[in-house]
Structure formats: structure tokens, C-alpha cells
Structure 1
Amino acid sequence: MKDLIETIVSALVDYPDDIQVMSREEDDRILYTLSVHKEDMGKIIGKQGRVAKAIRSVVYAAGSSQHKKIYLEISE
């Protein structure tokens, strides 16, 4: 799942080397935290959060085969 997130985001940003995806697994969910370069934050969020919502939709669909809820958090 980390590879999927990195692949999607690297096509959108100017600084692909600064992409960091961390995961934390709990009992009933998996939380992925995405961190990008400060200047790329607007490209990841998009107008009115549309790009972030689209990324989350793809990640949630790809993780639907797992028996845990998947969350994607975008941090600065």
C-alpha cells in the first residue's frame, strides 16, 4: 500500500525525494501518514481538497480486500 501511495503522489509533486509514507497498524485499522515537501502541499490537497479526496478513494478501494479499515492522513 505504501508503494501505491508513493507512486500516485510522486507523479503530482515537484520534490518526489521528499515523499514519506509511514504506517501504523492497530487492532481494527491501518493508518498511513503522508508527508511531502512544504511547497508540494497545495498540489496534494488540490482545490477544495479534490486531489486529496481522489487519492484517498484509490487507497481505500485498493485496501478493501483487507479486513481492516484504512485511513490516509496528510501531514505537513
Structure 2
Amino acid sequence: MLSDALDHLVRGIVDNPDDVTVRPRAQRGRNPRYEDRAEMLEVRVNPDDLGRVIGRSGRTATALRTVLQALSGQQNIRIDFVDVDRRR
């Protein structure tokens, strides 16, 4: 549900909505003590849209995180914004 909401919001912001993908991602190196601490969502966008999604001084990204936090209730959410050309 949260990934669908984030997908809808991001597609409304970007110029290339077909390049947007939102998927849950496992956090590496997590401490088992904090296993239920946060859900991580990874947003991949076209490189031309990355600045638009992050916004000036990160305001758009912060707003997206705030909306998802409100939708999730008390669940912690972490969102990573990645351009589609980024290599790991």
C-alpha cells in the first residue's frame, strides 16, 4: 500500500513517469535488535527527474517522506531516491 501511494505521488512529479519504480528493499547490516525499526522503499527515477523528486534543499523528498509517514501510522519509513543509471 505504501509503495503504491509513493509510486502515484512520484509519477505525478516527474517528466518521465514510465521510468519510475518503487520497491521494498532489505536493509543491509541491520542490527537484529532493531529488526522492526523501519521499512525501506527504493525509488528509481530517470536521471533527468532526480533533481525534481529531491527538490530544492530536499524539500520535495522531505514532503514525500512526511506524507508516507502519515499514511503509515506509527511505522517508520525510509525512502532512498536513486536514478535509473546508477550502478552498484
Q: What TM-score comes out, normalization by structure 1 length?
A: 0.86
Q: One-letter code of the match for 1:34? A: V
Residue in structure 2 matching 1:43, options 41, 52, 75: 52
**2:20 corresponds to:** 19
Partner deviation per Cα, 1:8-43 (whole Å, 9 max, x = no partner): 111111110100111036731211011100000011
Q: Which has the higher strand share?
A: 1
Report the secondary structure of 1:44's partner residue. helix
- How many corresponding residue pairs? 74
* 2:82 paired with 1:64: no
Structure 1 gap ranges (5+): none
Structure 1 segments, 4+ long, off by >2 Å, are: 24-27
Report the secondary structure of 2:15's partner residue. coil
**2:86 corresponds to:** none
Output the aligned Cα RMSD. Answer: 1.5
Q: What is the alpha-carbon distance in structure 2 between the residues aligned to residue 30 and residue 9 of structure 1? A: 18
Task: From the CA coordinates, give the structure whose radius of gyration is larger.
Answer: 2
Identity of aligned residues (%): 31
